[in-house]
Chains A and B, each alone.
Chain A
Amino acid sequence: MSETGSPKGQEFEHMLGQSDKRVAQFDDRPKGLVEKLQHMLHGNPTLVPVIVLVAAIVVFGLVAGDRFFSPFNLSLILQQVSIIGILAAAQSLIVLTAGIDLSVAAIMVLMSVIAGNLAVYMGVPPVLALAVAFAGGTGAGLMNGFLVTKVKLPPFITTLGTWSIFYALNLWLSGAQSIRSQDIDKNAPLLKFWGEGFAFFGAKVTYGSLLMIAVFLGLWYMLNKTAWGRHVYAVGDDKEAAELAGIQADRVLLSVYGMAGLVCAIAAWAAIGRVGSISPQSFYEGNLQSITAVVVGGISLFGGRGSILGALFGALIVGVFQSGLRLANVDVLWQVFAIGWLIIIAVAIDQWIRKVSK
């Protein structure tokens, strides 16, 4: 470039001075309001569920009135979503790697049955029973992970299979019979710890609700502030690129499935407190409800995009909708109908936001 402009230069070089000197840059023509919004949402994918959550609370507050807005009702919503919420945290981990886990609820129920049988019927100390359940949950998750990474089965098929396997084991172990609340109180009250709580300005806050929030914050920290978390996002976004960058993708995936299994076992403990008894027939659709929370929370099913906190907001949105519709005397049938639309709209918004990068 130093010779540019010299009088001895070639013909075309005279023209160089008049050419566009700008380097590659983004097109910053003035954007419409909608486009600005689209870009903002692309940068902050959790914003949508937060906006929807706040809007839903306001709308149902207006429609259903004081009963909805009471501290007690709001804390009740938190209690009611706590188990699906924790499952949704596990589900988010898998979905961030572009997978899906149909077995989360089955792992949870199986682990609660195992812990219950050991502690209530076989006299094993509750702490030990829970340790077995945690190990079992992690093992079940690792089994999914092994089938996905080593046997190379698609996550959907893998967990479709293990869902049935874990469910069958659960029925076999429990004889399809619940362990009664009174028997747990007598032999292993520790199992029901997360169902207890304290009153707080008219609200009833259970430890289980707090546990759900703690699980989300813990996982959020791991995903965003540790190398492991970066690797999870990288593998989810583009597995091959991550491998080329030196990440051992299969190992990361295996750890993600193991972690999800552990979170399911934590959910199992919380569920005993929440339900009161150990019920092998409960949460049969928990896997689908956890996927709903994840999707409504704006986590992309294509992997690598979205914040795990979105799933928390997703679970809360579903809870707020159900509570609000109920208090507005809407039939159960139409509550199911509304949740269905919520899912479709959430995914449609996600698709629209993704267009920014095209």
Chain B
Amino acid sequence: MMRKAALLGASVLAFTALAGAASAEVSACLITKTDTNPFFVKMKEGATAKAEEMGIQLSTYAGKIDGDVETQIAAVESCIAGGAKGILITPSDSRALAPVVGQARDAGLLVIALDTPFEPADTADATFATDNFLAGELIGKWAAAKMGDTSGAKIALLDLNPSEVSVDYLRDQGFLTGFGVDVKDPKDIGDEDDPRIVGNDVTNGNEEGGRTAMENLLQKDSGVNVVYTINEPAAAGAYEALKAVGLESQAMIVSVDGGCPGVQNVADGVIGATSMQFPLLMASKGVEAIAAFAADGTKPQNSEGLDFFNTGVTLVTDEPVEGVPSITSEEALHQCWG
């Protein structure tokens, strides 16, 4: 029974592949880390819509959980076998997928990493991602401009986790740079000696961690008035901690992501400003790049001065400041993901 179904499935696949070849239709694959995270759900939406618009046949795959390398490897193999022109992938493991990506490129496919770069980045033909340093810099500049005289700033930094992965240090150090703090080593969190920094703590990027970390830093100095957070769930937790001791109006919270609950929190005054990233755009640009490659073999170029193509980041705030372009939370609610 199972075998029969499998055979049937295989023949259907073969048939669609044939049909695709017959109508000279370009096919592409999208492989995300999971199917559950709203960020990737939005990415899939963007890719599907674009593919439909351009008449590209898109197959989508996803790992079961973040870190599920086997499923992603199998997906890449299916794409090669299926005769796809290109693969868009958010690698669950920046290194482990390199061999199979090499196979795909040898077979003549264009491979584009979305959101998460490979290590080294040139494992893939291109990377379409958010400039996380810039995302941090924007909220740093906003906070500094909002404050005016920053000499009395007391900064709490709510980071991701002790392993200091790239997204963590890029956002943290970007924020400090934007705010006007000397970051010393831009890849090291917490090596700064600026007296305005109250301290760093980790949140694991969720509300519970955000709340605990904020409580801890308030214990160090209850005068905290600027709170940087790695993402919006951590920001929501930090706000709860401030509210519990009646200090929510003393401190401004800034964050990064652009998820819909986060943008809603900007509208509600919980978060002062957040840098929005665009998973949908990563995917639709990726589909366009595959179409261009299929047409005449052109490969996407990196943004100037970066080893990836920057899909953009926009500041969202209802209290705009001069010199830092931004959109309102109302506008952002139409573009947010999740």
- Whether the Cβ atoms of A204 and B244 lie closer than 8 Å is yes
- Whether the Cβ atoms of B261 and A180 lie closer than 8 Å is yes
Chain B interface residue bracket vs A: 35 or more
B216 is an interface residue with CB less than 8 A from chain A = yes
Q: How far is the CA of A172 from the CA of B34 in the complex (A)?
A: 11
- Whether the Cβ atoms of B219 and A171 lie closer than 8 Å is no
- Whether the Cβ atoms of A283 and B190 lie closer than 8 Å is no
Among the interface residues B199, B205, B212, B219, which one has the most CB atoms of the partner chain A within 10 A?
B219
Q: How far is the CA of A121 from the CA of B245 in the complex (A)?
A: 29
Closest to B201 in A: A332
A171-B36, A172-B36, A333-B162 as given contacts; A73 in contact with B207, CB under 8 Å: no
What is the 8 Å Cβ interface bit string for chain B, positions 243-282, against chain A (1 contact, 0 not)?
1110000000000000111001100101000000000000
Q: How far is the CA of A99 from the CA of B162 in the complex (A)?
A: 31
Chain B residues contacting A176 (CB-CB under 8 Å) are 36-38
Closest to A182 in B: B268
Chain A residues contacting B199 (CB-CB under 8 Å) are 329
Q: How far is the CA of A275 from the CA of B234 in the complex (A)?
A: 10
B240 is an interface residue with CB less than 8 A from chain A = yes
B171 is an interface residue with CB less than 8 A from chain A = no
- Whether the Cβ atoms of A67 and B207 lie closer than 8 Å is no
In-complex Cβ contact of B236 among A178, A329, A333 (8 A)? A178
Chain A residues contacting B212 (CB-CB under 8 Å) are 80
Q: How far is the CA of A193 from the CA of B212 in the complex (A)?
A: 19
B208 is an interface residue with CB less than 8 A from chain A = yes
- Whether the Cβ atoms of A76 and B215 lie closer than 8 Å is yes
A181 is an interface residue with CB less than 8 A from chain B = yes
A204-B245, A283-B208 as given contacts; A275 in contact with B240, CB under 8 Å: yes
Q: How far is the CA of A78 from the CA of B46 in the complex (A)?
A: 46
What is the 8 Å Cβ interface bit string for chain A, positions 264-307, against chain B (1 contact, 0 not)?
00000001001111010111100000000000000000000000
Q: How far is the CA of A308 from the CA of B230 in the complex (A)?
A: 38
B211 is an interface residue with CB less than 8 A from chain A = yes
Chain A residues contacting B219 (CB-CB under 8 Å) are 67, 73, 76, 323, 326-327
Chain A residues contacting B205 (CB-CB under 8 Å) are 281
B184 is an interface residue with CB less than 8 A from chain A = no
A331 is an interface residue with CB less than 8 A from chain B = yes
A277-B207, A279-B207, A327-B220 as given contacts; A177 in contact with B236, CB under 8 Å: no
Chain B residues contacting A62 (CB-CB under 8 Å) are none
- Whether the Cβ atoms of A178 and B190 lie closer than 8 Å is no
- Whether the Cβ atoms of A282 and B261 lie closer than 8 Å is no
B8-40 residues with Cβ-Cβ distance < 8 A to A are 36-38
- Whether the Cβ atoms of A182 and B208 lie closer than 8 Å is no
Q: How far is the CA of A182 from the CA of B262 in the complex (A)?
A: 12
- Whether the Cβ atoms of B208 and A175 lie closer than 8 Å is no
A37 is an interface residue with CB less than 8 A from chain B = no
B94 is an interface residue with CB less than 8 A from chain A = no
- Whether the Cβ atoms of B220 and A177 lie closer than 8 Å is no
B204 is an interface residue with CB less than 8 A from chain A = yes
B202 is an interface residue with CB less than 8 A from chain A = yes
Q: Which positions in B face A, CB cutoff 8 Å?
A: 36-38, 41, 162, 190, 199-202, 204-209, 211-212, 215-216, 219-220, 233, 236-237, 239-240, 243-245, 259-261, 264-265, 268, 270, 338
Q: Which positions in A face B, CB cutoff 8 Å?
A: 67, 73, 76, 79-80, 83, 171-172, 175-178, 180-182, 195, 204, 271, 274-277, 279, 281-284, 323, 326-327, 329, 331-333, 336
